[in-house]
Chains A and B, each alone.
Chain A
Amino acid sequence: MSFLELRGIRKTYPGVLANDDISLHVEAGEIHGLVGENGAGKSTLMKLLYGMEQPDAGEIRLNGKRVMIANPQDAIRLGIGMVHQHFQLVPSLTVAENIALGAEPRYGPFLNRFRLRRQVQALSEQFGLQVDPNALVSDLPVGLQQRVEILKMLYRNARLLILDEPSAVLTPQEVESLFGVLRRLVAGGCTAIFITHKLYEIMALCTRATVLRRGRVVGTVQTVDTTPSEIARLMVGHEVEAPVITEAPADGRRRPRLEVRNLQITSGSRRATQIDLTVFGGEILGIAGVEGNGQQELVEALIGVADGVSGEVLLDGESITRVPTRTRRERGLALIPEDRQTEGLSKAMAIWENLSAGDYYQQAQGLGVLPLGQMRAMAAGLLNRFDIRATDERVGVGTLSGGNAQKVVIARELMRDPSVLVAVQPTRGLDIGAAGFVQEQLLRLRGAGVGVLLISADLDELLALSDRIAVLFNGRIVAQFPRAAATREQIGLAMAGKTMSENIL
């Protein structure tokens, strides 16, 4: 008898069959991988299990007994916990308050802060997950926020842990520590379902993995009997090839396209930042660094939304330091922002509206009337070209799967033929097919003489794509490596703030 059994689960959203006759067994004490392309229905299935959505058909069995999960309370009562793809934390509350939220120790109507702190401390010691119970969640880096999410499940004595793409937001070191935590928890009697797009994570962590494609189970594999490329083939239904990196274009075309000189940001509580860098046409300059070391400040200064900026930014030799964002975009600056949910898209609007955001005003005809039909038709074309999986261009962006939403942003930015592209974590949360597609697009731009600034916490991606890698630490570029000379170890050291003079280019 399996610990968890799903039988014939079916879930439709208007116009979408998100889960179709899904059956799946999870054994007690295993870490079960769940993989599939963007929009395959992984998150939907997990939301059904956690009571956030109701299945149209099918049944869920825990330890052989059929259970009804009408809401998250039921799930929690049954010992099911979930770390959502988008964290469910309250930023202005403390770590301890977030962990206990909804199940707080109290006396009468009052919150028992003393017991709360003790409980959280005990929990964090028991599982070796260090947190400061009194810190505000808004002050925590993502890695720690995730730790809070995990403690939240443990606080409620969850025995079945669901983790929806937990590694997408973590640095390589944080992923390692997450794996350690999960292995310890499973050894202690928990069972876990782990969703990811990185197949080597499946190979390293899971005993078995189930592959979804377009809402259906296409197979469950034992990881010892299979290879990542075999799983990838199951996922997409055909062979997957890694993007091919061509040699950098001849030196004649290497003129500086984006120059940043002595950039300092001195706004509010932000850390002072001092950055010098040059991106040449036809190259990808990778920026490595642990999140929160000035990446966001740099991006804001480049696109022109930061306050208190000094220094200079040149685009194709002309200063854009004091030029508004719209003009910067008109001169060829494009951006794939880090957070597609809040910075990249307007969730309340349709795909075609999002695709025309940013330059819709250029299409206006006499009296400012917009050619809506034309704009929609163009959007439909982009849907095809960038393989965005949606019924049509009028679908609200808010209902797209993470990967498809990101493709909308990328389609919008790339169709404008930029001269410089700033890409922040462009493949975060994308399936291998889609990530490969995006990487190909970046390489295509590079081949066309565009300067690409790739800011990423994913070292593998940086090493695979960048012609040069610069490391950002504490608001400064502390090291630069040409691709040939860059190693994971050296970059890792520089990311931790240990400079070595011979690394400086």
Chain B
Amino acid sequence: MDSLDLIVNIAAATLRLGTPLILAAMAGLLSLQVGQVNIGLEGLMLAGAFTVVAVGFATQSVLVGLLAAIVVGMLLAAVFTLVVTRLKANLIIAGLALNLLVSGGTAYLLSVLFGTSGTFSPPDLESLPSLYIPGLSDLPVLGRLLFSFSPLVYMSWLAVPLVAIFLYRTVPGLHIRAIGQNEEAARSVGIPVRARQYLALMLGGALCGLAGAHLAVGDLALFREDMTAGRGFIALAAVYFAAGRPGFSALACLLFGLFEAVQFRLQLASSTPPQFFQMLPYLMVVVTLALISARKEWRKGWS
């Protein structure tokens, strides 16, 4: 394998691995902007992953599974909104509860519905078909980097400008930002605060459903317990270090996707226990976050 090939491989893997992160990051961004940071992204994604496989298997249609994942994501997000707004539950506790609930719930359903534990890989469930445009997809480098992915990858690229336009150009988006900064002010000018909170968080739920679906049926077609592996938190970290800006958040997600892609390569090429390499991307996130905040401090002190 020559080095161009290696680079293209890693780049393509980066885009694939970045996809669920970008989708989840957009959900996290919406929740941050409306002032109800959702640390339950992890749970919402996992629910999406389970639903797409379970419903897809039951209906023999990945597409129906995908729609179901979106619906489940939105429903769970609606419950989360109810709990943190009307019932005034603590954001952190509600988010953690959501994660635990879905993690336990999917494991339970896995054994009750399908009689297995660990991994469920329905033999006759297809993964999402990859794009194939004759000619374009056959191009040597561009073909593999632009025209060879499953539809959810493209959807994640689309989600970033759409979320940006929604937040910064539409009236509901303006309301969402206003609520996040000063809920009392929003209320005092008659903005329907509750409705906007549901909107922002349920849109996020839909995005997380898609993110989870990509994990489950983007490449392969399987569900594994806790297969989200902390990606919800990584996505949230990306949003924070991009200071809530959509484009930068997506770039930060791709950076993590790159760490992950490289990690896989290293794992293949070495005899060190794989857990060591699996740890690396997360370590890189911590290091990057630390460096960024150190830089901010440094600037404050000297410039």
Chain A contact residues, CB within 8 Å of chain B: 50, 52, 71-73, 76, 82, 84, 88-93, 97, 101-104, 106, 109-111, 152, 267-268, 307-308
Q: In the complex, what distance in Å separates the CA atom of A76 from the CA atom of B191?
A: 12
Binds A, one of B40-48, B115-123, B178-186, B231-239: B178-186
Q: Say yes or no: B182 contacts A307, CB within 8 Å.
A: no
Q: Is the CB of A268 within 8 A of B299?
A: yes
Question: Taking the nearest CB of chain B, how far is it from the CB of A161, in angstroms?
Answer: 15
User: Which residues of A have CB within 8 Å of B185?
Assistant: 88-90, 101
Taking residues whose C-beta sits less than 8 angstroms from the other chain, chain B's interface range is 20 to 34
Task: Check A110–B178 contact: CB distance below 8 A.
Answer: no
Contacts of B271 in A (CB 8 A): none
Whether a CB of chain A sits under 8 angstroms from the CB of B303 is yes
Stretch of B78-86, B164-172, B206-214 contacting A (4+ beta carbons < 8 Å): B164-172
In the assembled complex, the Cα of A76 lies from the Cα of B177 at a distance in Å of 22
Is B191 a contact partner of A101 (Cβ separation < 8 A)? Answer: yes
Q: Which residues of A lie under 8 Å from residue B88 when comparing CB positions?
A: none
Nearest-Cβ distance from residue A159 to partner chain B, whole angstroms: 17
Residues of A within 8 A of B189 (CB): 72, 76, 88, 101-103, 152
Q: With A307-B300, A308-B300, A308-B302 in contact, is A88–B188 under 8 Å at CB?
A: yes
Is B170 in contact with A90, judged by CB distance below 8 angstroms? no
Complex CA–CA separation, A102 to B170 (angstroms): 12
Assess the B177–A93 pair: CB atoms within 8 A: yes
Cβ-defined partner of B188 (8 Å) among A84, A97, A111, A268: A84
Interface 0/1 of B284-303, CB less than 8 Å to A: 00000000000000011111
The reply to whether B190 and A111 form a contact with Cβ atoms under 8 Å apart is no
Which of B174, B184, B299 has the most chain A CB atoms closer than 10 A to its own CB?
Answer: B174
Check if A106 sits within 8 Å of B300, measured CB to CB.
no
List of 7 A-B pairs having minimum Cβ-Cβ separation, nearest first: A102-B189, A88-B185, A73-B190, A90-B178, A109-B170, A88-B188, A90-B181
* CB under 8 Å from chain A, chain B span 257-303: 299-303
Chain B minimum-CB-distance residue to A106: B171
Q: With a CB–CB cut-off of 8 A, which chain B residues contact A76?
A: 189-190
Which of B171, B181, B187, B303 touches A104 (beta carbons < 8 Å)? B171
A307, B301: Cβ atoms under 8 Å?
yes
CA distance A72 to B169 in the complex (A): 25
Q: Contact between B191 and A90 (Cβ–Cβ < 8 Å)?
A: no
A109 and B174 within 8 A (CB): no
Given contacts A72-B189, A73-B190, A84-B188, A111 and B182 within 8 Å (CB-CB): no
User: Given contacts A110-B171, A268-B300, A308-B300, are A72 and B187 in contact (CB under 8 A)?
Assistant: yes
CA–CA, A308 and B181, complex, Å: 28
Chain B neighbourhood of A104, CB < 8 A: 171, 174
Q: Is the beta-carbon distance between B182 and A90 smaller than 8 angstroms? A: yes
Given contacts A71-B190, A73-B190, A109-B171, contact A88 B181 (CB under 8 A): no
| CB <8 Å contact, A72 and B186 | no
Chain B hits for A90, CB < 8 A? 177-178, 181-182, 185-186
- Sample of 9 further A-B pairs with CB below 8 A, known A93-B178, A101-B175: A50-B188, A52-B187, A72-B187, A82-B188, A90-B185, A104-B171, A111-B170, A267-B300, A308-B300
Which residues of the partner chain B approach A307 to less than 8 Å between Cβ atoms? 300-301
Closest approach, in angstroms, between the C-beta of A198 and any C-beta of chain B? 25
Chain B 36-62, CB within 8 Å of chain A: the 1/0 string? 000000000000000000000000000
Measured in the bound complex, the distance between the Cα atoms of B186 and A403 in whole Å is 26
**Cβ–Cβ contact A88 & B300, under 8 A:** no
Q: In chain B, what residue has the closest Cβ to A156?
A: B189
Q: How many angstroms from the CA of A84 to the CA of B184 in the assembled complex?
A: 11
Please measure, in the bound complex, the distance between the C-alpha atom of A91 and the C-alpha atom of B181, giving whole angstroms: 7
Minimal Cβ-Cβ distance residue in A for B184: A88
- 22 A-B pairs, CB-CB below 8 angstroms? A50-B188, A76-B190, A88-B182, A89-B182, A90-B177, A90-B181, A91-B182, A92-B177, A92-B181, A101-B174, A101-B185, A101-B186, A102-B190, A103-B190, A106-B171, A109-B172, A110-B170, A111-B169, A267-B300, A268-B299, A268-B300, A308-B300
With contact pairs A88-B182, A89-B185, A97-B174 given, residues A102 and B301 touching in the complex (Cβ less than 8 Å) = no
How long is the Cα–Cα vector from A103 to B189 in the complex, in angstroms? 8
Chain B residue nearest to A267 in the complex (CB): B300
Indicate whether A111 sits within 8 Å of B171 (C-beta atoms), given known contacts A88-B188, A88-B189, A93-B178. Answer: yes
Q: Closest CB of chain B to A165's CB: distance in Å? A: 16
Chain B's closest residue to A138 (CB) is B181
A73 to B195 CA separation, bound complex (whole angstroms): 15
The distance in angstroms between the C-alpha atoms of A479 and B8, with both chains bound, is 68
Distance from A478 Cβ to chain B, minimum over Cβ atoms (Å) = 27
Nearest-CB distance from A224 to chain B (Å)?
35
Measured between alpha carbons, how far is A92 from B243 in the docked complex, in Å?
A: 13
Within 8 Å CB of A308, what residues of B?
300-302
* B303 lies within 8 A of A268 (CB): yes
- Closest residue to A109 on the B side, CB-wise? B170
Contacting residues, chain A, for B177 (C-beta < 8 A): 90, 92-93
Which residues of B have CB within 8 Å of A103?
A: 189-190
B303: which A residues are within 8 A, CB to CB? Answer: 268
Judge whether B178 and A101 touch: CB under 8 Å: yes
The chain B residue sitting closest to A112, CB to CB, is B171
Chain B residues, CB < 8 A from A111? 169-171, 174
List residues 176-229 of chain B with CB under 8 A from any CB of chain A.
177-178, 181-182, 184-191
Q: Which B residues lie within 8 Å of A82 (CB)?
A: 188
Q: Nearest chain-B residue to A269 (Cβ)? A: B303
Output the nearest chain B residue to A75 by Cβ-Cβ distance: B190
Q: How far is the CB of B174 from chain A (nearest CB, A)?
A: 6
Q: In the complex, which of the residues A76, A84, A109 has the most CB atoms of chain B within 10 Å of its own CB atom?
A: A109
In the assembled complex, the CB of B185 is this many whole angstroms from the nearest CB of chain A, namely 4
A72 touches B190 (CB 8 A): yes
Give min CB distance, B11 to chain A, whole Å.
35
Which residues of A sit under 8 angstroms from B172, Cβ to Cβ? 109
Q: State A89–B186 Cα separation when bound (angstroms).
A: 8
A162–B27 Cα gap in the complex (Å)? 40
> How many angstroms between the C-alpha atoms of A103 and B7 in the bound complex?
52
A157 to chain B, nearest CB (A): 14
CB atoms of A110 and B169 under 8 A apart: yes
* Shortest distance from the beta carbon of A72 to any chain B beta carbon, whole Å: 5
CA distance A90 to B181 in the complex (A): 6
A348 to chain B: closest CB distance in Å? 13
